[in-house]
Chain A
Amino acid sequence: MTNEQDIINRIEAAYPDAVCKKKQERRVEACLPPDRLFDFAGRMQSHWNFPHLSAISCVDWINEGEFELVYHFWSYEEKILVSAKIRIPREEARFISITELWQPAKFFERDIHEMFGVVFEGNDDLEKYILTEWEGPPPMRKDFVTRDFANRFYHFKEYEAEWMGPQQNPQAADVQGGSNE
């Protein structure tokens, strides 16, 4: 049974500029430069026997002005999950699509495109799937605050319960956030 260290050595041998680390049991993290990713994804599938792309996650590091794409690969034989992390600039984010290698990527890339606005070149099916009725900005970006939008756009209930008496009624949702800032 290969363990995490073998995988790390294998990755670092193939990609010298990759920074690998064992996160937890059966979890390896590999930070790669963006241009290495496509080749890495291909090699994972063909040579290193990681047939399963579990997910592609996107994290919006707004303070650093970058999106972080995390590709999670799983091997049924070696029972280890490798999370390949790359950073792409946040404004007009573009990246290469890996859909012709990995079919599950079709959904994940379209989801990230909808939610973050990252354009994946080579993915032909990027038009809206979940947010068809939504005209606003990609909602998952950190600069879009959903509470303010909800308070501005939607109508909230003004109760007049009889125990409240005539003089006051509770404010709308925007007054007290659910969690103390």
Chain B
Amino acid sequence: MSEKLTQRTAWNRVLDKLSGRSLWMLHYCTGCGAIELPPTMTGRFDMERFGIHPMVTPRQADILLITGYLSVKTLKRVILTYEQMQSPKWVVGFGSCTINGGMYWNSYATVKSLDQYMPVELYIAGCMPRPEAIISSFNELIDRIGRGEANSWKDYYENYDFYRKNQEHVFGGPINTRTDVKSDKETFRIQSAGK
């Protein structure tokens, strides 16, 4: 992926700088970490200072926050949502549950590591991360987008089969997300690199 970075034209750099300024976060609380989102969104910590605003529909959102554990039922809806979001899109994993299972490591109902099912841009340590940590992660994301390094979303197209296989393993069969990921790949001119 790194060799593509150098080809960024001057226009790409400007685009990256600007697009980092108005990220919209999908208003979907998937896990218990979502209780720290209202304080981040509202008066006390106010993430709108960075142009980040909660957006209700996946199609207009840029950031998908996986706020903690993902039960299998929620994972199905999250994948539907993720595939509806327009690229470039970024997934931020909150807390320990997204990394290696967190507190629910021996639970039968939750998936253990998020990067098996979708590419994750940033992880935040915490159980659950505080508003200050969430806002720092947004700043980090804005910087990475500005530097053109935030390309985890391409990974979903490149290694779609890998993710697909894991998803089907958890759901016990293919699910119809009514989004043709393969055709999306062409629109972004991404070659598939095996993973």
Contact = CB atoms under 8 A, between A and B. Distances in A.
Does chain A touch chain B in the assembled complex, meaning CB atoms less than 8 Å apart? Answer: yes
Interface of A: 131-136, 139, 144, 146-147, 149-151, 153-157, 173, 178
Q: How large is the interface on B (under 10, 10 to 19, 20 to 34, 35 or more residues)?
A: 10 to 19
Contacts, number: 48
A133 B79 CA distance: 14
A156 B108 contact: no
B109 interface: yes
B105 A173 contact: yes
Contacts of A153: 108
Contacts of B116: 155
Contact of A155 (B72, B107, B112): B112
Interface string B137-162: 00000000000000000000000000
Contacts of B101: 150, 154, 156, 173
B100 A156 contact: yes
13 contacts: A133-B72, A135-B172, A139-B108, A146-B106, A150-B107, A153-B108, A154-B111, A155-B113, A156-B100, A156-B101, A157-B100, A157-B113, A178-B106
A146 B107 contact: yes
B108 A149 contact: yes
Main secondary structure of the interface of A (DSSP, over half): loop
B76 A133 contact: yes
A26 to B, nearest CB: 33
A136 B107 CA distance: 13
A173 B107 CA distance: 12
Nearest to B116: A155
A151 B112 CA distance: 10
Given A146-B107, A156-B113, A157-B99, 8 more contacts: A133-B72, A133-B171, A134-B72, A134-B108, A134-B109, A155-B113, A156-B105, A156-B112
A104 B193 CA distance: 55
A157 B101 CA distance: 9
A150 B108 CA distance: 5
A169 to B, nearest CB: 13
A178 B102 CA distance: 12
B177 interface: no
